[in-house]
Each structure stands twice: as structure tokens, then as C-alpha cells.
Structure 1
Amino acid sequence: MKDYLVKALVYGGAVRAYAVNATATVAEAQRRHDTWNTASAALGRSLVGGLLLGATVKGEDKMTVKIQGDGPAGAIIIDSNGKGDVKGYVQNPHINLPLNEKGKIDVRGAVGTNGVFTVIKDLGLKEPFSGQTPIVSGELGEDFTYYLAVSEQVPSAVGLSVLVDTDDSIKTAGGFMLQVMPGASEEIIETLEECLKDLPNVSSLLDEGKSPEDILAVIFGEEPIQFLEELPVQFNCECSKEKFSTAILTLGTSEIQAMIDEDHGAEAVCSFCGEKYHFDEAELNGLIEEITGGKK
């Protein structure tokens, strides 16, 4: 099944609903970063959350999520946009913890329960919007939910789920986000809470072959759902050798000369996708000339 996200309205527009299958997207991140079991689940949930938040902004507008907990996984950084693109990395990809007391992957143990959850929105204005909340769970779904309720004042429910296979590959990954609009009745909120009480993991539903539309149907039962849009989602990093050249230029001539003298070249690695870019001596000399205008 292809990766895509659906946007919908329920209860006559009182609730905005989003659901996504991001299995191939998370699998691409796992492959690029060689994440181990627990790190795969933590990074995967974060990528799914990034896609769901990204779906709330317009096409080129960008969203960055920074999860900086006190667990062994270290920082998790996710970039997404309104076009369904996402990229991200976990600081320590080789984390494989014992299962938790429920027999599940211990994402909380990897992320930690103390730290900061930050969202930066670049909406093309002069200053990006930034919101910050404490990490309240480390399971990540609750942390996205808490951020939306406190920082954006939108009562929400976020479910993030990744099924990691025995060989550390990604079997399924996906999630949902429900947002209660202003003016929604108490009855609707109570009904929603009841719907979510016994909901199976999204990854299990995807494993059964259910689509994002099916996931919302499972949540809302007989309630009519007005589907608005289907958005393809994918792991996409726009790094390039040209961008790294620009970054190397900012180091200045002495730093670049040291790369030539000591290493006879340089290798730049993109944190988000793991792509490597090699610069030989001639290319580095070319960058020095660019700075000096050809004068040594």
C-alpha cells in the first residue's frame, strides 16, 4: 500500500481528523540511519507526528520538531512541510532496549521523561513561530497531544504507531490526529473520548491491510466522515553538494586549507538523510579562490 495522508471533517466540522500510512517513509529513514529496534520506533513515531503536524500548514510552509529528552536516544529532529515531505534523524540510532512492562518496544526508555518538546513553524513570515512544552510522557503521542493543547490551544488526540520486525525493518508505521474545533459540544468531546478508549494500535490496523480512511472509520464508527484531501507522503531531503559547498565557504580560508593539508580533501555527511558528499583538493582550492577572488 502506498504512503499517504487523508484530511477529513467529522461531526459537521466540529472535529478535524487526519490519518496517515507512513510505512515506506519510516522504512526509508530506518535504512538510511541504520536505526536499531527501539531507536527505529522512536524516530518512526516522531516522523509520523511530523507528517501529521505538517498537514496543518500550506504547501511550502515548514515545520521543525525537536524532541530533546534525557534518554539514551538523544535528540530527535524532524523537518516536514505542507506537501507531505518529511525527513529526520535520531542522535543515537543504535539503541535497542529490553521490552517494557507491557511487552512493547520501550520508546519512553529511549526518549526519556524529562526534557523539552519544541515546534518551530516557518510560515514565510518575517519571524518563525516557536512553541515549547516539557516532555510529559516520552511515548511521543502524548507529547504531541500535550504540545497542541498547551502551546496551540487546540484540544487534540494524537496516536503514533510503528511496528518493527524482528530484523529491525519497519513492518508498518502510521498514525492519526484529531483536533476539536472551537464551539464543539461536550457531548461530542465525550463521544470522542469513548471512541478512542479501546482503539487498537494504528500499526496493527495497517498490518491488517487497513487504509488511512479505514482507520478513521474504526475511530468514528457509524458517524459520517467528510473526506477533504488525500496527500502523498514521503521521506525527502533536499540536501546537495552545492549547499554543502556554501556551508564550507563559511568556515574561511584557514579552515579549508587545513582540510587540504591534513586530510587532502573533505567529506560532508547530511544529518537528515545520511548522504555523503566528497570534496577533493581541487574542489577545496576552488572554494578558497572563491573567497579570495583568486588571490593567495
Structure 2
Amino acid sequence: MFLRSFVKMLLLPFSCSAFVTRTAGTIGGRRRAPLTRHFFSVSESYLNTNNVRDQALSALSGCGGLKVTVVTARNLVNDLMSTHSLSEVAAQALGRTAVCAVLLSNGMEDRQTVQISVDGGGLLGGAVAICNGAGEVRGFVGNAGLGLRDLREAVGIKGTVQIVKNHPEWPRPYNGITAVQSGEIDRDIGVYLAESEQKSCALAAGVKVEGVLCQAAGGYLVEQLPGCRKEAAKKVQANLQRLVGKNGGDAVPAGLLRSGMEPADIAAAILEGTQGKALGQIEVRRTCVCSEERLLRSIRLLPRHEIDHILMEHEKVEAKCEFCGKVYRMGPDEVRDKLEKATGDPSKQVDL
């Protein structure tokens, strides 16, 4: 019952009203304190006034059976918009995908990664985001300048959601795939978690773009863990139901973040009445791992006659990183010299 109820509530908004008390302490020139309440408390280091910094915060119910992860990522989406010259709908798609990647990677080892690929067959051409356990994100879309306004139309509903989890020390990555059903990305990823990974969870991600700037971006993931008490699960469901409609017209939870709620506020609202506590937080930031060495590895995976043909026809090797836009170029002499000096088996070198 919990699984079915939560899947139905994948995008339910939530809010809070006067459930936080703030006393001593000074942050940004005004007095503030740890969030305090009988059901939730965090230290000052978790506070994030006006969501100035990108943050992923996790919390746990008192019974230990419900984990909540909340992300605010406005700076990340603005950075992606600038890097890829994203249109509004492309920013919506990539922003939601990136936020979901951060949510799913929370709690993993720093070197472990989650890659989300959503391609519903629409004109967007798909969205890809990769995040590791340290909160480092990168991503791209197929058609960055797409002029459509409707996200579902841009993404499409005749395709797949594919999620790959990997680690440098694993013999092979874990792959899962489900069908795109809604084109709203976060709802489709929530369905993936329920169907492919058999997880009881509630997931939402929203991005608010005005003009060339992202005003708010973030999401939440509520997961039921083994040993969850029925009373706690019912309480969290009731909290979400009670808070429906408080988000406003923006995609959940963008409206809440725009109103000034922080991840700690949102986590507290979800866990109200469960004696929740904060687990930890990480900084979310865009990064890229492209390099000339990775380009060389890719070249080495090609048959030598193909490399010679490319050098003869184009007199150079050129490649553009899809994630950051950086262009790498190597002349024929440089390529041949590096190939002569290269050692090891490139097929056994893992790119994460």
C-alpha cells in the first residue's frame, strides 16, 4: 500500500507554515539559529538563506525507516544554461534530469556515479545527466535551442528512461531501463524507481526559468527503508497530502524554493511528527572530467587503419565534449607520437 500510495504522490507539493523557530546566532548580518522543533533539528551549517548555495541535504525519520533528500540547485541550472545556451524548455528538461541525478546519487561513495538518460522520442533529442556521490554533476541535451514551450511535447512519450550506476572497482555497471510514460522526467524517473528497482518512494523535481535566468531549481526524494513503522509512513503521506497546493503554479518544489524555503525547511515539513533528524549535506556543483588523455583513450580504441584514414582525410583529430563544450584538437604528428608512447589496454580503463 505504501508503494502504490507514494507512486501516486510523486509530484505532490508541500510547504510549511510557522513550524520553525529561530533564536540565537548570526548569519548574514541577522540573527538566526538552528532549526528547532521536537520533530527536527539541524545545526547552523545546514542553513541556506535564500538558497544562495546549491545543496543536497538528507534527513531520517526517528524510526530510521524513512530517508528524505532535498536538493536546491539554482546555480547549477544557470551554469548549465550558460554552458549550453539552453532554451527555456531545454533548461527545464536538463535541470530536472540533473536534480534527479543528484537525488539518486545521495549517500553513494564519492567515486560512484549515477547516469540518467531520458529520451522520449521528442524533438529535444534526449537529456543526459551524470552525478557522483560527491555532488559533482554534468549533463547535456540533444537540442539545446529547442523553441517549444511544453516539456512533455519536447521530451516525448515514446521512449525510455535508462539509469546506469557505476564504480571504478565494479566489474560491470548496473543498468536499468523503463518506458517513458509522461514526458515530465521526474515522474518518469519515479516510475523507474518503483518498477525497475522496486523502491517505495516519492520523487519530485522542478525548475523555474524566467527569461535567461533560472529563478529556482530543486527536488526531493522520500524513500521507505526496511523497518519503517506504519505510523511514520502514514504521517509522511498525510504531510504531503496536507501540503498539496502550497507550491503555487510552478513545478514542485520550485515554488517553495522561490518563496524562501530551504532544503532543511522542506525536509522538516516532510518529516513533521516523525522525530526526524538531519543526516548530512553536500555541495552540488557542475563539473566536467573531459581531458586530452580521455580523447587519446577513445582514439586508441579505434582500429589503426581507421585512425590513419581520419588523419589522411581531415589532417587532424577534433572532438567536442558534449558536457562542457570544450574542443580538443590533435595534429597527425601529435596523434602518431602519442600512440607510439601509449601503454596499457585502453579497453580496461574506465571513464566515470
Q: Give the distance between the partners of 2:266 and 2:147, measured in 1 at CA.
A: 29
Is 1:31 the counterpart of 2:76 in the alignment? no
Is 1:67 the counterpart of 2:112 in the alignment? no
Which residue does 1:10 correspond to in 2? 61
After TM superposition, give the deviation of residue 46 of structure 1 in Å.
0.1
Q: Cα gap change, 1:56/1:148 in structure 2, threshold over 3 Å: closer, same or farther?
A: farther
Structure 2: where are the runs of 5+ without partners?
1-51, 343-352
| Contact 1:63-1:80 within 8 A present in 2 as well | yes
Of 211, 216, 223 in structure 2, the residue corresponding to residue 179 of structure 1 is: 223
Structure 1: where are the runs of 5+ without partners?
99-105, 292-296
Deviation by residue 1:168-218 (Cα, 9 ceiling, x = unmatched): x22221111000123434443343233223151322222223221112233
Q: Cα gap change, 1:135/1:290 in structure 2, threshold over 3 Å: closer, same or farther?
A: same
Superposed counterparts of 1:222-241, under 5 Å:
223-241=274-292
After TM superposition, give the deviation of residue 225 of structure 1 in Å.
2.5
Which residue does 2:154 correspond to in 1? 110
SS in structure 2 of the partner of residue 271 of structure 1: coil
SS in structure 2 of the partner of residue 32 of structure 1: helix
Question: How many residue pairs get matched?
Answer: 283
After TM superposition, give the deviation of residue 38 of structure 1 in Å.
0.4
Q: Give the distance between the partners of 1:21 and 1:115, measured in 2 at CA.
A: 28
SS in structure 1 of the partner of residue 204 of structure 2: strand
Q: What is the identity, as a one-letter code, of the residue corresponding to 2:151? A: V
Which residue does 1:155 correspond to in 2? 200
CA RMSD of aligned residues (A): 2.1
Q: Give the distance between the partners of 1:204 and 1:175, measured in 2 at CA.
A: 11
Deviation by residue 1:10-42 (Cα, 9 ceiling, x = unmatched): 252221000011111122222111111101100
Q: Cα gap change, 1:61/1:290 in structure 2, threshold over 3 Å: closer, same or farther?
A: same
Q: Give the distance between the partners of 2:293 and 2:176, measured in 1 at CA.
A: 32
Q: Give the distance between the partners of 2:334 and 2:214, measured in 1 at CA.
A: 39
Deviates more, 1:51-60 or 1:122-131: 122-131
Superposed counterparts of 1:208-219, under 5 Å:
208-219=259-270
After TM superposition, give the deviation of residue 144 of structure 1 in Å.
1.7
Superposed counterparts of 1:43-62, under 5 Å:
43-62=94-113
Q: Give the distance between the partners of 2:72 and 2:267, measured in 1 at CA.
A: 12
| Contact 2:66-2:223 within 8 A present in 1 as well | yes
After TM superposition, give the deviation of residue 223 of structure 1 in Å.
4.7
Deviates more, 1:1-10 or 1:279-288: 279-288
Q: TM-score, normalised by structure 2?
A: 0.74
Q: What is the identity, as a one-letter code, of the residue corresponding to 2:207? A: V
SS in structure 2 of the partner of residue 267 of structure 1: strand
Q: Cα gap change, 1:245/1:4 in structure 2, threshold over 3 Å: closer, same or farther?
A: same
| Contact 1:84-1:231 within 8 A present in 2 as well | yes
Deviation by residue 1:214-264 (Cα, 9 ceiling, x = unmatched): 122333445543001011111111110111122123334444444444333
| Contact 1:64-1:119 within 8 A present in 2 as well | yes
| Contact 2:108-2:132 within 8 A present in 1 as well | yes
Deviates more, 1:31-40 or 1:208-217: 208-217
| Contact 1:249-1:287 within 8 A present in 2 as well | no
Q: Give the distance between the partners of 1:129 and 1:262, measured in 2 at CA.
A: 39
Which residue does 2:319 correspond to in 1? 268
Q: Cα gap change, 1:127/1:282 in structure 2, threshold over 3 Å: closer, same or farther?
A: closer
